[in-house]
Amino acid sequence: MRFLYKTDYDQDIRLVRHSGYAFWYGLLLALLIALPWVVSDYLLDQAIFIGIYAIAGLGLMLVVGYTGLVSLGHAAFLGIGAYTEAILTARGWPFPLSVSAAVLAAASAGVIVGLPALRVRGIYLAIATIALGTIVEEILARWESVTGGNAGLSVSTPRGLFGFIGAAPGFYYLTLAIAISSTLVVLNLLRSPTGRAFVAVRDSETSARSLGIHVARTKTTAFALSAALTGLAGALYAHKIRFLSPDQFTVLQSVELLMLVFVGGVGSVHGAVLGAVFLIALPQMIAIAKDFLPPAIGGAAGLQSAVFGALIVGFVLFEPLGLYGRWVKIRHYLEMFPFYRRGTYRRVRVFQRTERNR
Amino acid sequence: MQFVQIVIGGISQGFVYGLVALGFVLIYKATEAVNFAQGELMMLGAFCGLALATWAGLPYWAVLLGSVAILAAFGFATEFVLLRPVFGEPSFSAIMVTIGLGFLARGLVTMIPGFGTDSHSLDAPFKGQVIEAGGLVIGMEHVVIIGAGLLLSATLYGLFRFTRIGIAMQAVSQNQLAAWYVGIPVRRLNGLVWALSAAVAAVAGVLLAPIAFIHANMGFIGLKAFPAAVIGGFDSLPGAIAGGLILGVIEALAGFYLPEGFKDVAASVVVLVVLAVRPHGLFGQASRKRV
Amino acid sequence: MNATQPAPGEAILEVSGLSIAFGGLKAVRDVSFTVRRGEVFTLIGPNGAGKTTLFNLVSRLYAGDAGRIVFEGRDITALPAHRIASLGIARTFQNIELFEHATVLQNLLIGRHVHRRTALWEELLFLPSVRRAEIAARERVEEVIDRLELQHYRDTPVAGLPYGVRKIVELGRALATGPRLLLMDEPSSGLNVEETDDMAFWIEDLNRDLGITVVMVEHDMRLVSRVSHRVLALDQGAVLAVGTAQEVQSHPAVIDAYLGSAHA
């Protein structure tokens, strides 16, 4: 058990709260830096995907977890970031510029999306985001002169940055650096007034307003930042996957992102990373498990879908706090051992009141 | 003339959306949960019908009744297994659980060898028949769908408005605890609502079968039903049908008069316009929080 | 303290001819009153009289159909709701509207939002200016925590706290904005006798020490008599009487509508 004796306000503000943080996260960082020498090329590849999805997950987490806005259209921002990056790289733009443009494009889309969508709440917002996602997907498919339409668009190697980021270890470090910076930016946001305003808007719009928070502007800011992060992930995604087509950015992908956020643990930065690990690892695990299953089940086309569905349902029923929530409970158990009380995390049954008047 | 024919085609398609939307609105009106798996329930209804027709050799109307019964039981069971534990959790959990259910249903059906992976069709006694009047043609399958849509929405509207059960359901959706205190069997009612909604989905699925192909992905039509529900008003049963109608007609007209691709986004554009202008839809009720 | 003398001071809040109707129901009908700086002004009346609606009109959560609201000489009748706090008006809610998933400290810190001087880009990079601003905000919030004795609950998520404490946290959050006018909607509802006494103590405390003008809606007549300088009785959206607590409590129309003959 660790007892924190606080003597300074800074201890509550800074990111590294105590020496335990420094040790474990330092270890994690060292491991991540050493990764290319430790694992196979294939696993490094997967690590890059995890990084990309973690960034996208952070973006979605900002709106869903912290501002309380359900978005089922985030794949659109991924697509906008990806296509902008691909198109500009093909025109010879250096990497830093093209990525900045991709992020800006996605953020602008986020603001545009925010204007109509954020005037409605709850399920209506979810539906608005589905609609917007569908429209973006259709634009990507129809605007053939620019995006190549349904035939797809191949992505050339990124230029600039000494040319080494095209190759695997270089791209891994690039993704790692961007993922770490994104995480730090989000953490900074969350410990500052804007981040608190997000939480206020999520929990009670009425009292947020009476405390001077401009609710519409806060939501739009959240959406724009979220879109920017997701667009950034999209730009990296374009270079990793090397070939884009509109069907990579449908509602299904948006649902996958939402699942990432939910399984990882809504409302925590760790959740975004854990969710990304889960999302990338799952198909691999299913592929491995297939060898152990009877061919009738293992070879079936719908297995992945069914497993996804079963897992989502399982998490909702048994661990709604997600992977990070489960980790917090385990850690708490270990810290408090043997004084852990079983009822600590028991869910309080709240009777449902209509949310129509929220 | 061609215009009217297109509109008729749109109306027919619109009632399909309306039937699916009816199931949504039913669940939302009674429990404030949104069932993202409504399309998949319809798909299950269609496959159920197919199974009954192929393996039990039942005639069409028996197939319809059988599917309705089986899906109603399934709906009740789903509510019992999946939604009761989610009672009282934030609505996000309910959304996720129904999304998960959709994935699961789609996956499991696809895993059934031969059956789930192919597209099938189902024959109905009225398949292929048409009604002609003044140069306009409408398929009998569509007429049946329109009839079913009108009948179901009228029945359900009457249920909610005039019967004790319907009023009890509305009470539950407003405040579960209060409903319990006045003696309303909340859990049983929620199960009943899901059973009803699944039954409506089954009707949609079996009636749609003669027109479209039955395949595991046919549930995606649910995505179109959302805009229909929004247009009509998410808590209005007649609104669901009206919304579906409007959507179907707009899509049909867009498909004919506008360049390619607009038809697919027509639903999305209309939804955004409605949300911007009149978020509670045509027949829904605006509400405001009292502090 | 027995506040029978009206407190001197210029008018801080002037409401004239305020009305609002919801459909056919006239919730507030041509209500006018003036609140003087430094006093505790209480609104009483039966349920449904329009007291909370009046509050919502003044804090601009509702837009009135007619009338004017002037705060410190400035017409705020058409001001958007989120601008009210920056003028120095804070409020608490009848049904507690706290940020349930945040800690007490975070709730209070959100109260400092009107004093935010840092831009978004500065916050994203967490520049030293942001850190300094955070520490300054924390110091102000700690003053409120000290005053209301919330130290024990600082890092507890609000959702798990007992009702009495939540009421205090809501008061604290309103105080954190540094208001000159505090609107309190039924501060003693749901509190037992001791907690109500504590609340009375704090209201007097803020009023005397910090010079905050308090306008409150209240049903507990003991509390009303104890802390109020002046009282306004409302019934069915219209003003019945204004005066000291004694005057209003013995006014025949008020007794008729609200208090019952046992209070005569």
Residue A151 sits in a domain whose CATH number is 1.10.3470
Query: For residue range A215-263, what is the model confidence (pLDDT) as tens digits?
Result: 889 999 999 999 999 999 999 999 888 888 888 898 889 999 999 999 9
Query: Does some domain include residue A10?
Result: no
A158 reaches C (C-beta below 8 A): no
Q: Which two tokens stand for residue B114?
A: 């031969």
Q: Which tops the pLDDT comparison, A202 or B114?
A: A202
> Is residue A108 over pLDDT 90?
yes
> Is residue A354 over pLDDT 80?
no
DSSP B101-114: HHHHHHHHHHHSTT
Q: Which of A138-147, B232-241, B262-271, C168-177 has the highest mean pLDDT?
A: C168-177
Residue A211 domain boundaries: 28-356
Q: ω into residue A338 within 30 of 0, thus cis?
A: yes
Q: Say which range, A23-32, A171-180, B249-258, B280-289, has the weakest mean pLDDT.
A: B280-289
Provide the number of CB pairs (under 8 Å) joining chain A to chain B.
176
> Is residue B241 over pLDDT 50?
yes
- From the list B99, B230, B289, the residue facing A312 with the nearest CB is B99
B286 reaches C (C-beta below 8 A): no
Q: Beta-strand (E) ranges in B60-203?
A: 130-133, 136-139
Other C-beta atoms closer than 10 Å to the C-beta of B144 total: 17
State how far the Cα of C64 lies from the Cα of C57, in Å rounded to an integer. Answer: 6
Q: What's the ipTM?
A: 0.87
Q: Is C70 helix (H, G, I), strand (E, B) or coil?
A: strand
Q: Which tops the pLDDT comparison, C211 or B177?
A: C211
In this structure, which amino acid lies at residue B128?
G
CATH of domain B2-277: 1.10.3470
Q: Do A217 and A47 touch, CB atoms closer than 8 A?
A: no
Query: Does some domain include residue A9?
Result: no
Segments making up each domain of chain B, as ranges: 2-277
Tokens 């009761």 sit at which residue? B84
Question: In C, which residues are within 8 Å of B291 by CB distance?
Answer: 52, 56, 61, 93-95, 97
In this structure, is the dihedral angle defined by the CA atoms of residues C145, C149, C151 and C156, taken in order, positive or negative? Answer: negative
CA distance A316 to chain B (A): 6
State how far the Cα of B21 lies from the Cα of C1, in Å rounded to an integer. Answer: 64
Q: Give the mean model confidence (pLDDT) for residues B1-8.
A: 82
State how far the Cα of B134 lies from the Cα of B1, in Å rounded to an integer. Answer: 10
Rg (CA), chain A: 21
Query: Does some domain include residue A48?
Result: yes
CA distance B260 to chain A (A): 9
Q: Give the mean model confidence (pLDDT) for residues A115-131.
A: 81
Tokens 């079913």 sit at which residue? B148
State how far the Cα of B78 lies from the Cα of B93, in Å rounded to an integer. Answer: 15
- From the list A13, A188, A212, the residue facing C85 with the nearest CB is A212
pLDDT, residue C6, reads 41
- Output the CA–CA distances (angstroms, integers) from residue B67 to A54, B44, B53, B59, C208, in the order listed: 43, 9, 10, 12, 74
Split into its structural domains, chain A has a count of 1
Q: How far from chain centre, in Å, is Cα A6?
A: 33
> Is residue B70 over pLDDT 70?
yes
Q: What is the mean pLDDT of each run of 10 residues along chain C (264 residues)?
A: 51 91 88 92 88 88 90 90 91 89 93 91 91 93 93 89 92 94 92 92 92 92 92 90 89 80 52
State how far the Cα of B174 lies from the Cα of C242, in Å rounded to an integer. Answer: 39
Q: Give the mean model confidence (pLDDT) for residues B255-282.
A: 82
Q: Say which range, A39-48, B6-15, B115-124, has the weakest mean pLDDT.
A: B115-124
Q: Beta-strand (E) ranges in A89-156?
A: 153-154
> Is residue A358 over pLDDT 80?
no
Closest-CA residue of B relative to A265 is B93
- Helix (H) / strand (E) containing A13: helix A10-13
Q: Which two tokens stand for residue A183?
A: 């995480």
Q: How confident is the model at residue A350 (pLDDT cuts 50, 70, 90)?
A: low
Tell me the pTM: 0.88
Query: Does some domain include residue A7?
Result: no
pLDDT, residue C70, reads 93
